[in-house]
Structure 1
Amino acid sequence: MATTAHYDAIIIGSGQGGTPLARAFAQAKKKTALIEKQHIGGCCINEGCTPTKTMIASGRIAHLIRRGPDYGIHMAGQGGKRNEVVVDMGKVRQRKRDIVSSFRSGSEKSLDTAGVDVLRGEAKFHDAKTVGVSMSDGSEKILRGETIVVNTGCRPSPPRLDGLDKVGTDRVLDSTSIQELDEVPGYLAVIGGGYVGVEFGQLFARLGSKVTIVQRGMQLLPREDKEMADTLLAILEDEGLTVHLGATPVDVSSTSPQSFRLSVQTKRGSENISDVTHILFAAGRIPNTNRLNLDAAGIKTDPKGYIVCDEFLQTSVPSIYALGDVKGPPAFTHISFDDYRILKPSLLSDIPPHSKPSTKDRLVPYVVYSDPQLGHVGLHEREARERYAGSKIMTAAMPMDYVARALETDESRGMMKAVVHGETGQILGFTCLGTEGGELMSIVQTAMIAKLPYQKLQEAVFAHPAFAESLNNLWGFLK
C-alpha cells in the first residue's frame, strides 16, 4: 500500500494560475506538490492561446501576400495573381510546436528552480485533505495537504452528431486536434460561431480551405452587441466564408472515402452542405471535474460540473480553493492568472479578511483574434442598461474608416463602440473591432481602471497618426 506524503499545499493542474501559485508556495518555504496529468502550462500554452495565435499569424501572412497588389506589390514571375500562395502546413505546424515547446520548457524550469515537487499523473480526492495520484508510470501515490487548489481547467465538448461513426476519426476535429493537421482541409465545416469557431474558420479560409460556419444562434459571437457581430459577419463573408445563422446540424453521411455531406436545419428548411472533407466542433467546453471524485471531499459543483466558489475562490470546503476555467466562465487565461493574484496574498500572507482581494467587480477584458481583432472590456450596451436601469446611458459608435491610420494602412474594416454613464461620464464598456483592436481596448481599459471620464481621452494628445488618436474622435458620436 502506498505511503502518505504530507504537503503544506497541493495544486492539482498546472495552468496559468496553478503554476505560479505552486511556485509562490515553494518560494515561501512551503512544501508544495503540483499534480499534472498532461503538459505543464495548461491549455493556454499547449492547446489554447500560444499555438492558436501562432497559427493565426501564419494565416495573416497568407492573407497579406494575396493583398499585395492592393498596395502596389506584386510577386515576381506571378503577374500579381492573388491566389498564387502555397501553404506548407507541415511548416505551419512545426513553427507552432516549436513555440509551444519553448514556452512549456520555461514553465517546467521555473517549477524546478523553485523546488516544487511535480507529480505526473491523475488526481482523485479521497477526502477533503487527501488526494490519490495515479502516476503515469503505473504507480500510485497518496498525498495529504493542508491547502488544496484545483486548477484542472476545461476540455472541448465531445462531438455529437448522427452519422459521425461513418466519418474517419481523423476528419472529425476539435480545437486541439485541428492544430495537428499536416494538410489544409479541402472543405472545413465549423460547428459553432463563437470565438473558437470564428478564429479557426477565418484561419483555415486564409490557408486555402473552403469554409462554412454553422451557428445555432441568430448572430456570430452571441455575447457581443449585434452591430459588432453583424460587422464581423460581413468581413468573414467578404473573405469567402459561408455562414449559416439560426442553423442546427442534423447529421452527416459519407459520400466518398475523402468527403461527406452535412445536413443542417435552417430557418429556410433543410439544407445539405456537400463535399465536406473535415468537420470542426467548436461549440463549447466542459470542466475537467468528472474524474476528481469531488463528492469524497465535499466539494460542490453547479449543474454543468463547474466548481462553485465564493468571491475569494474558496469552495464549499474551507481548505480547498479553485482557480481558472474549472470554476466556470469567464474562461480566459488572464482571468486564471488574476485568480492567482487573488489567492496568493490570501493563502500566503497574514491579511485581514476585509483586505482580501476578491473577484467582486473585476474588470474583465478579452480579445477575439479574428482579423481584425475584436477587443472588449467592461459592459456591453444591454448589460449597462440593465445594471443602471433608470440612469442615462449613452453610446458612441464610429467606423474604423474614420481613423486616419486605418486608411493609410488599408486596414479600415470594423468599428468601435463605447458605452458611457450619461451623468458621470464614466466609461462603462468599450469594444473595438479593428486592427490591433485589443491594444486600443487596453488603452480604454486603463482609463476605466483609473476611473477617468471619457472627456480625458477626448482631450488627450495622442501621437499622429496612431490608431490611438481615434480615441479623440469617438466621443463626438455619443448619443
Structure 2
Amino acid sequence: MLRNLTMAPKHFKFIILGSGQAAPPLANALTAAHGKGSTLIVEKAFIGGTCVNYGCTPTKTMISSGRVAYLSARGNDYGITTAVTEQGSVRGLVDMHKVRQRKRDIVTSFRGGNEGRLEKNGVVVKYGVGRFIGPRSVSVKDRDTQEEEEYTADTVFINTGCRPAEPGLPGVETVDAERVLDSTSIMELGEVPKKLIVVGAGYVGLEFGHLFKRLGAEVTAVGRGKQVLEREDEDIAEEMRKILVEDGIGLELGMDTVRLEAVDEGDMKIRLVYKPTSGGEEKSVLGSHILWSAGRVPNTDMLDADKAGVRIDGKGFVQCNEYLQTAADGVYVLGDVKGGPAFTHISYDDFRILKNNILSPSSPKLSTTDRMVPYTVYTDPQLGHIGLHEHEARKAYPNRNIKVAKMPMMWVARALETDETRGMMKAVVDSDTEEILGYTCLGIEGGEMMSMVQIAMMGKVGYSKLRDATFAHPTLAESLNNLWGSLE
C-alpha cells in the first residue's frame, strides 16, 4: 500500500540505507552533532549487518567451539586422556544444538547492544526495504505492514552490503534445498553433516570446511584456482594446503563445477560433478550437504539507484571516489556494497573517513587512498596478513632491493611449548631502507602477530628495530627477533 501522496515526505538531515558495521557509529556521531531525530536508519532485517548477524560474530563463535573439539581430540598429545573415536574424531562429543545456541546467544547480545545505543542516542530506526525515488529521496516499505512511506534528506548514505551468491549450477533444483547451504544457512544446522562438499577454496570456504571437519564431518573442498587462497603467495598457499590435507580435508583444485545431481546412497544425497579447468574428463564427489562459498553479490538490485543519479558498475557495486562520494550530489557509500576489500574493519574505516569529512569540514580531508588492509583467515592455525605479498611487491617495485625473510613456526619456542608448530612466517622488505612492505603469519595467533607488525609499519619502524627489540620470553612476539636471520 502506497502512502497518501498528498502528504509531504518526512525530512531528515541524514538517511542511512542499511545498518552494516559502519552505520550505527555513523548514525550515533551524526545524531550527537545535529540532535536527536536528525538521522534515520533504514534496515531490512537486523541492526549490525553481515558482521554481527551472519559473518564475523557468529562464525568466529562457532570456530571457537571447533577449536575446543580439536583440542579435546588432541588431549593425548598433551598427556591428557580423552575419549575419541578410532578415526580421531569427536563426533560423539559434539552437541550441535548447543554450538548453535551459543552462537545465537552471542549474536543476540551484540545485536541488542547496537539497537540499545541507537535508541538511547535518539537515532530513528525504520525496519523495511528502502529504494530511491529521486535525488536524496527514498521510499521505504515497512517490514511488518508492507505500507510505503517517503522520506527525504540533505545527505543519504548507502550501506546495504552484500549477500552470498546463489549456486548457478544445472541440477540444483533437483536437490533437497535444505542440503544446499550458504555461509548463513550452514550456521543454522542442528547436526553435523556426514559429508560436506565445499565449493570454493577461498577464505570463507576454508574457514567453514575446517570448522566442520573439527566438529566431525568428512569434508571435500572443490576450488577453481590452482592453489587454495589464490591471493596469497604460492609458498604460503602450499603450507596451508599441507595443513588442510594433514587435517583430513580433501582438496580438488583447478576444477570447474559442472552440475549437481540428486542421489540416494544412504546419507549421501548429492553428487557434485566437476572437471579440470584445463580440460579433461569429468569427476564427481558425493555428499550429504553442499556449501556454496563461491562469492558474494552486492545488495543494489533493489535500490533503484539510477533514480538518484547513483552509478552502479557491471558487477552491481556502487561506484564512488576516494572520498566515498557517489556520482549523485549528497549521496555517499560505505562498506562492502562499494566493492572490495570486503572486511568489517574496512567498513568501519569508511565510517571514520565520513565522520571526519562531514562533521569536521575544516580539518584535513581523509580518503581511502593508501590505507592499510589487514586481514585474518580463521582457519586453525590462523593466517594473518598486512601490506604487500611478495609477488605484489616485486611487481610494484621492480627497481627496489626487495628481500624476503621466512621462518617455520617450528622455530618458535612458544609454538613448540604449546604444540602448535604448523605454518610459517614471511616478511617482505626493502633491504636498502629497511622498510617492511608486507608480512604474513600462518600460525598460532597469526592475526595477533600480524597486528604487531602492522603497528611497526604504521610507525615506519624498520625491520632491524624488531630484530633487536627486547620482547618478553617466552612469547610469540619474540619470534620477530629471529625472523630476519633468513633475509635473502
TM-score (norm 1): 0.97
Match of 1:19 in 2: 24
| Distance (whole Å) between structure 2 residues aligned to residue 304 and residue 83 of structure 1 | 42
2:479 aligned residue: 470
Measured after TM superposition, the shift of residue 128 of structure 1 is 1.5
Query: 2:352 corresponds to which residue?
Result: 341
Cα distance in 2 between the residues matched to 1:7 and 1:330: 31
Residues 74 and 80 of structure 1 are in contact (CA less than 8 Å); yes or no, is this contact kept in structure 2? no
CA distance in 2, matches of 1:271, 1:444: 45
- Residues of 1 paired with 2:257 and 2:227: CA distance? 16
Structure 2 counterpart of 1:162 = 170
Which residue does the alignment assign to 2:236? 228
Paired with 2:82 and 2:375, the residues of 1 have a C-alpha distance of: 37
Look up the match of 2:218: 210
CA contact (8 A) 1:156 1:285 kept: yes
CA distance in 1, matches of 2:224, 2:305: 33
SS in 1 for 2:281: strand
Task: Give secondary structure in 1 for the equivalent of 2:321.
Answer: coil
Take 1:147 and 1:268, find their aligned partners in 2: how far apart are those partners? 52
What residue is the counterpart of 2:273 in the other structure?
263
Equivalent residue number for residue 50 of structure 2: 43
Runs of 5+ in structure 1 lacking a partner? none
Measured in 2, the distance between the counterparts of 1:397 and 1:61 equals 30
Q: How does 1:148-187 map to 2 (within 5 A)?
A: 148-187=156-195
| Aligned counterpart in structure 2 of residue 329 of structure 1, from 340, 344, 365 | 340
**CA-CA distance at 1:129 after TM superposition:** 1.5
Match of 2:15 in 1: 10
Assess if the C-alpha contact under 8 Å between 2:382 and 2:447 holds in 1. yes
**More off after superposition, 247-256 vs 184-193:** 247-256
The SS at the match of 2:425 is strand
1:105 aligned partner, one-letter code: G
**CA offset at residue 71 of structure 1?**
0.9
Aligned-residue offset at 1:250: 1.0
- Are residue 388 (structure 1) and residue 388 (structure 2) matched? no
CA distance in 2, matches of 1:268, 1:398: 37
Tell me if structure 1 keeps the 8 A contact 2:73–2:82. Answer: no
The aligned counterpart of 1:29 is 34
1:75-119, Cα deviation, whole Å (9 max, x unpaired): 37x799843542111111000000000000000001001101100
Name which of structure 1's ranges 28-37 and 290-299 shifts more when overlaid on structure 2: 28-37
In the other structure, the counterpart of 1:278 is 289
Give the drift of 1:273.
3.5
Paired letter, 2:13 = D
- Equivalent residues of 2:133, 2:308 under 8 A apart: yes
Output the CA distance in 2 between the equivalents of 1:297 and 1:203: 43
Query: In structure 1, which of residues 142, 151, 154 is the aligned counterpart of residue 150 of structure 2?
Result: 142
Alignment of 1:232-311 (within 5 A): 232-256=240-264, 258=267, 259-266=269-276, 269-311=280-322
The C-alpha deviation readout for 1:420-469, integer Å capped at 9, x for no partner, is 01221000100000000000000000000000110110011000010000
What CA distance in whole angstroms lies between the structure 1 residues aligned with 2:82 and 2:322?
A: 56
1:118 matched to which residue of 2? 125
Displacement after TM superposition at 1:157 (Å): 0.7
Counterpart amino acid of 1:179? M
> Is the CA contact (8 Å cut-off) linking 1:171 and 1:278 kept in structure 2?
yes
Aligned AA (1:460): A
Aligned to 1:432: 441
Whole-angstrom CA distance in 1 between matches of 2:320 and 2:468: 42
Alignment of 1:60-99 (within 5 A): 60-75=67-82, 82-84=88-90, 85-99=92-106
Residues 123-132 or 411-420, more deviating: 123-132
State the alpha-carbon separation in 2 of the partners of residues 260 and 301 from structure 1.
Answer: 37
Q: Is residue 364 from structure 1 mapped to residue 395 from structure 2 by the alignment? A: no
SS in 1 for 2:270: strand
State, as a whole percentage, how many aligned pairs show the same letter.
53
Structure 2 SS opposite 1:468: coil
Contact 1:373 1:438 in 2 (8 A): yes
Match in the other structure for 1:417: 426
Unaligned runs of 5+ in 2: none
Partner of residue 106 from structure 1, selected from 90, 100, 113: 113
Q: Deviations over 1:272-322 (max 9, x none)?
A: 444311010001001101110000011112211111111111111130000
Alignment check: 8 A CA contact 1:251 1:263 kept:
yes
Q: Secondary structure at the match of 1:28?
A: helix
Work out whether residues 200 and 223 of structure 2, in 8 Å CA contact, stay in contact via their aligned partners in 1: yes
Contact 1:345 1:356 in 2 (8 A): yes
Looking at structure 1, the residues matched to 362 and 141 of structure 2 have their Cα atoms a distance apart, in angstroms, of: 36
CA distances 1:234-259 after superposition (whole Å, capped 9, x unpaired)? 00100110001101111121221851
Aligned residue type for 2:217:
S
On the 8 A contact 1:401/1:407 being kept in 2, the answer is yes
Out of 437, 451, 457, the position equivalent to 2:460 is 451
**Aligned with 2:134: secondary structure?**
coil
Q: Deviations over 1:10-38 (max 9, x none)?
A: 01111110111011111112411000001
Instruction: Verify the 8 A CA contact 1:372 1:414 in the aligned structure 2.
Output: yes
- Once the two structures are superposed, what CA deviation does each residue of 1:39-79 show, in whole Å capped at 9, x if it has no partner? 10000000000000000011111111110111111037x79
In structure 1, what residue type is equivalent to 2:75? G
Equivalent position SS for 1:132: strand
Q: Distance in 2 between matches of 1:81 and 1:216?
A: 30
Quote the Cα distance in structure 2 between the aligned partners of 1:124 and 1:83.
Answer: 49
Counterpart Cα distance in 2 of 1:150 and 1:394:
42
Say whether the 8 Å CA contact 2:89–2:216 is kept in structure 1.
Answer: no
Query: RMSD of aligned C-alpha atoms?
Result: 1.5
CA, structure 1 residues 79+54, in 2 after alignment: closer, same or farther (shift >3 Å)? Answer: closer
SS of the counterpart of 1:382?
A: helix
Aligned 8 A contact 1:261 1:272 in 2: no
CA deviation profile, 1:356-384 (whole Å, cap 9, x unmatched): 11111101100000000000001111111
Once the 2 structures are TM-superposed, how far is the Cα of residue 269 of structure 1 from its aligned partner? 3.5
Mapped to 1, the partners of 2:173 and 2:256 lie a distance apart of 19
